[in-house]
Structure formats: C-alpha cells, structure tokens
Structure 1
Amino acid sequence: MMKHLALLAQPTAAHATVAATKPLAPWGDDVKRILCLRTDNLGDVLMTTPALHALRTAYPDRHLTLLTSPAGAAVAPFLADVDDVIRYDAPWTHIRPPRTHPADLAMRALLEERRFDAAVIFTVYSQNPLPAATMCYLAGIHRRLARCRENPYSLVNDWLRETEPEQGVQHEVERQLTLVGAVGATTNETRMRMQLRDIDRKTLAATLERRGIDAEMPFAVMHPGASAESRRYPAERFGEAAARLVRATGINVLVTGSTGEASLVRALIDAAGPSVRPFMHDLTDAFELGAFAALIERATVVISNNSGPVHIASALGAPVVDLYALTNPQHAPWKTPHRVLFNDVECRWCYRSVCPQGHHACLRDIPSIEVANAALELIDEARQPTRRMQTIPHRIATHTE
C-alpha cells in the first residue's frame, strides 16, 4: 500500500475557524532595505530560500539582509539572493542558559543604525513572532510583516492572521512563500536554493582522495545523526540497510556526522558487518559545510534522518531517502526525487525532541529492508528517468514535485 505523508491526519483544532485579516498592499519603491529574520537552524533557512528568491524577484534593486542564528548563518555564503547576514543568538529561540540583555540592546542599536525600511519575520506556527517584531519596532523599522495568532496592534503593521494548525498546515516552503506573497513578492521558481562554489567541489575531491575514496565511483551518503534524539533512526538499522544496499549494487557508502555523532557512525559501520566493510567509509567531521554540500550533490542517493542533509539534498536536487520521525508534518523533502519513510502512530506530530511515549515507534518500526529498497528504487529511477513510478511498499511515501 502506498502512503504519503500528506495523507496522514494533520494537526487541526476541532471546529476552529480563524478569521482572515484584510488583504495587504504590495510594498512600493520606498522599501529599499529589507531585513529577513529566520533565527532557526540551517535547514529552516534553506526552506526559506524560495521566499527569499521571491523577495529578490519582486524587488531586484532592493538590499536583502538575513538575520539568523549562528547555525543558520553557516549557509549564508551559499545564498545568491542574500546581500549580507547578521548573526544573532536570539533569546526567543530554543532553550538557552541564563543570559543578560546587553547583547540584545546592542542588536537593537545595530538594526536602527542599518536603517532598514521593512522586516519579514519568518516563523513556524508554534513560534510567536512578537519578540522579533518588538525588536524591529524599537529599531525603527517601519514595515513589519509577520503571521500572528493574536492581534499584534502596532508591533506588526503588515499582519497575516495565523491559521495553522486550526485550518491545516502547509509545507514550510509554502508557508513562507505565501507570507511574502501577501505583499506582492511572488516567483514561479519555488525550488530550494543553495549555490555551491568551485572551491567546495575541489575541496571535496581533495578530501576523498586523501581518504583513498575514488570520487569517480558511485557512492551513497548515509547520515545517522540529527539534533533531536526523537528524529534519529537506530544506527544499527542504518547499518543493516547499508549492507543490503552494498550487496545489491556494490556501491560505496560514505557515512557522515559531526564529532558528537562519531559513536552513531561507528555503530552504523559495525552493524553493516565485516563482509561489506571495504565499501564502508567513516567520514566523521571530514568536511566544512561547502564540501559536505558538494558531497551530497555528487551522491547517487542520500539516506538520512529528517535533518540538515535532507534539506541540502532538496536544495541541490539530490535523490534522498528521508527517515521521517512524525514529530511535525511540515519539513519533508521539497521538489527533489525522494522517499519518505515512517511508521504511523497515534502520537504523531508531538513536536518533541525526545519521544514522549518512550517507544520511538514512528521510526523504530521501519524495517531496514524498506530503507534499502527505497534507495534502490531511487537509484533505478535515476537510471530510467522516463519510467513511470511504481506503487511502493507500506510505510514508504513518494513525492517528486
């Protein structure tokens, strides 16, 4: 039976109707310097790139500045539509140790000094835009665009009322596109965007050569890590899938992760077993972001938890098998060949970093053979791009917009 993530029950509030706000007027020629706030992680910034491109397309002579987290700022050099970036560890995002306010006052002063004409506050529906809107208001930014659940009064003067999840949810890319579309910024080019440099591809080639890996041979990338424990498929199951994939194709498997994910990488390779060990390569902490993205660009298939590598694959058009924990419904791969694998559970859309039920069934109950089969299907389709896609097994979803 074929399943698609969108066919699962989406988070809604029973009998809830959210009143619409009045249509917004398009921004005019007085809006020359635009501040785009996305204070989340790298993947969130990448899912905002179509909206950034819409702003650039609608206002080609405008100056776009991205204000983002240190993690999000890492991708800024690869965003052609962004003119510059401001790094900010905002107090309204994530759980942080106690802090004092001088850094926040300094940021308010910096934004005032930069004299922005407008700000776009990008959020997910569980985030409150008002702290960011207050910062922009106090910095004298005259136009402030955001979705907000409650009446923001003067803090947001280009206001779209928040309708999620009461009236269903959108993919994160669509959510941000409709936000900027409300002020006239639209585009037909809605792919996620990441522009690699020649140095990134050269660095990748040099790194693989040093590791004794033939870059001309096909390879799969496996990434067993994720920032949240609830989004990690068991490393041992990754290893079982790797062994099946190697035996079926003879492909090299390059296993990636940060220094903190080294134990996951080792567990994956150990689980694959000695018979396929010559095809397994530990690339823990081997790359800076640019070379890592070049690795994903070159991969025959990427197999990953729903984390940064999935969004990089979407931005670069790489085929990806996404082990999708049902913690939220909005972050699936976008407009690239892919399979989304999950096990449906009643506790879906928990939005938790650690499984609140303790069973982790939305990922743990996916058989490793289905992971391998999904990768094999994507490899086969890449070889036969005109072949009609076949019905795929239980728990596997497909979408190739």
Structure 2
Amino acid sequence: MIKNLLFMLVLFSGIAQFQASGRMKNIYAESDFTVPMNLVASNITFTSAHITWDPIPGATGYTVRWRASTSAVWLSMNIPAGTTSADLNDLTPCMGQMVQVIDNASGDTSFPLTFYTHLNYCRSTSMNLGTLYLSNVSIIPSGGLPTMVSASSASNHTDFRMNPPTHIELGIGSLNNVLSVTPTWAGLPGTSYVKAWIDFNANAIFEASEMIVSTMVDSTNPKAFIFNVPSFASITQCGTAMRVIISETEPAGPCEIFTYGEVEDYKVTFVNTNLGVDETSKPKEISIYPNPASEILYISGLSSETDYEIFSVSGQKTGAGRTSENSADIRHLAKGIYFIQLKNKENITRLKFIKK
C-alpha cells in the first residue's frame, strides 16, 4: 500500500513538473513571438526615414521610439494595429539614429536599429576577406585644400563616411586632383582592376559619367590618377560620397557583389572657392533664424536690403528675391534642406536652412 502511494506521488509530481515546464516553454515562445522583428530603414534622406517591421498576430498596436545618437531623449509615436510601418520626420541631419518598436500588448521591445541620415548608396562588397584589398587610399586636392590619407586593413566593404579624419574636401570646378591607391595581395601580387566614382550631383547614384578611375593595375604600375571636379558639383548639408573598388575581375559597375577584392566609401564635401567669400570664411555677423523655419526666414547682420537666391541640396534654384525688413518669404518651398545665397555689397554669403 505504501509503495503504491509513493508511486502515485512520484507520478503526479512528474506530471506537474512536465506541465509546469510546458507552460514555461509556451510563455517563452509567446514572448519571442511578441518581440517585433526585422526592422528595416529605407527611403533615408537628410531628415527622414521609412521604418518597417514584421507583423505580430493579434497585436493591438505598436509604439515606435527613436533618438539621435547624441541625445538621451526618446521621441515616440503610436501605430495602430494592422500597420507595420512608420515615417520618421524632422530627424537631425548627418547623424546616427536609433529606432526601436514596442508591442503595446506585451511591452516587448525590438532590438535597436541604427542608421545614418545621409545619402544612402547601393550595396557593393566582395565575398572573400583579405585576398586582395586597398591598404591605402589618398586624395591630394588642388587649390591648397587638405590631403586625405586612409591606411586600413582588409575588409569586404568599409564605409568611412562617419569617420572625420577620412573626409575629403574638393573645390568645385577644380582641376588636377589626385587619387592614389595601394593594392595589397595576401599571396603573390597579380593584376587587378580599380574603379572609382564620385557622386558629383549628390543624387545617391554613382552614374557612369561620374566615374573618375577605371584601369587595370599590378604591383609595378603607378597607382595615382588625376581627375577633375565639374562646375555643377552639388554642395549638400551632409556631403556626398566617393566609392573605390578593387577587384580581381573587372567590376561591371558600382553596385556589384564580386569574389575577391574590397570596396571603400568616403565622404566628400565640395567647396565653392570661386565665391567672393567662401562658405568656410563667411562673415560671422550674418545669420538666419529661426532654423528650421516654416514661413519667414529672418536674416540678421545685413546693412541694407539684399538680393538673395535659394537652392535645393541638389543645386537647383528654387527661389529668388530681395529681402524685406531683413527677411525672406519661404512659404512656397516644400519641406527639406536648402541654401540661401545673399549678395551683401561685394560679399556673397551662403547659409543652410531647413524648411519644416
């Protein structure tokens, strides 16, 4: 009788433990299933981005929260059930952004997604690491602008655009700028192909007309190339980019995935050295406010009414006029980033502003 009771006790204990274990597994599974997954940022501009994520069955809604990398303050918005996307606006330009999505019913939070508010380019990379790579890329600009030297180890693709020491300054319309590269092989040196593009018009596309280098190199051939900057090169708030590819086989274009080689991207800023007063040395007493602005842009530091022109970040003229009571009407502009160019006596001042 005692043995039977002990047997029944052990049996019920085992069943209880099995049921408890099953309940815990279900809880963990349900928790995993309510964590928003696969966050993706697309249509990224200087001040906006489109965020998407996978749907959670039975979700009652979501909260999207985001902040700039330099801020500790989260901004947030509520997203209704059945919607798995959000448009983020008024982001800080040229800055890293962190985004998370929260399932409102469970409170489960996604892993953070990080992206940058600058021009975003097509993907290009090699599939094998270290066999062939760029150990040094240098730019010697004409006109006395600073030289950029980037010595690096092997990678499949490296984006140096958020690394200030490797930023490049080039003069608009400048001639005889020099790009030099140092190919490095893991084994015996061989031949390879080097191609490079600069997105002169800042439209986030490396076009065929923007290719500055296309050649075959080996361990003895010179690796320095001369290129010119067109007069239509665009001055943008976050700069544009140069892409350099080295590959064992000739790349078909700037957006290729290939076997052996490396891709490196660099930030490029164009400087208008033809202005009477360059943007880097414009008079400090002239300023604009508020910034961002919605209807009227006020200008302080002007000695008289002044002619002005407004340009988009792509270099298109979007407005012109003469200041009235030290102000300019910008109500006709769409939301975005612009430059206002002021001709005050013999000086030209170029200032950036955001239309909200």
| TM exceeding 0.5 | no
Larger radius of gyration: 2
More strand by share: 2
Question: Normalization by structure 2: what TM-score?
Answer: 0.29
Question: Normalization by structure 1: what TM-score?
Answer: 0.26
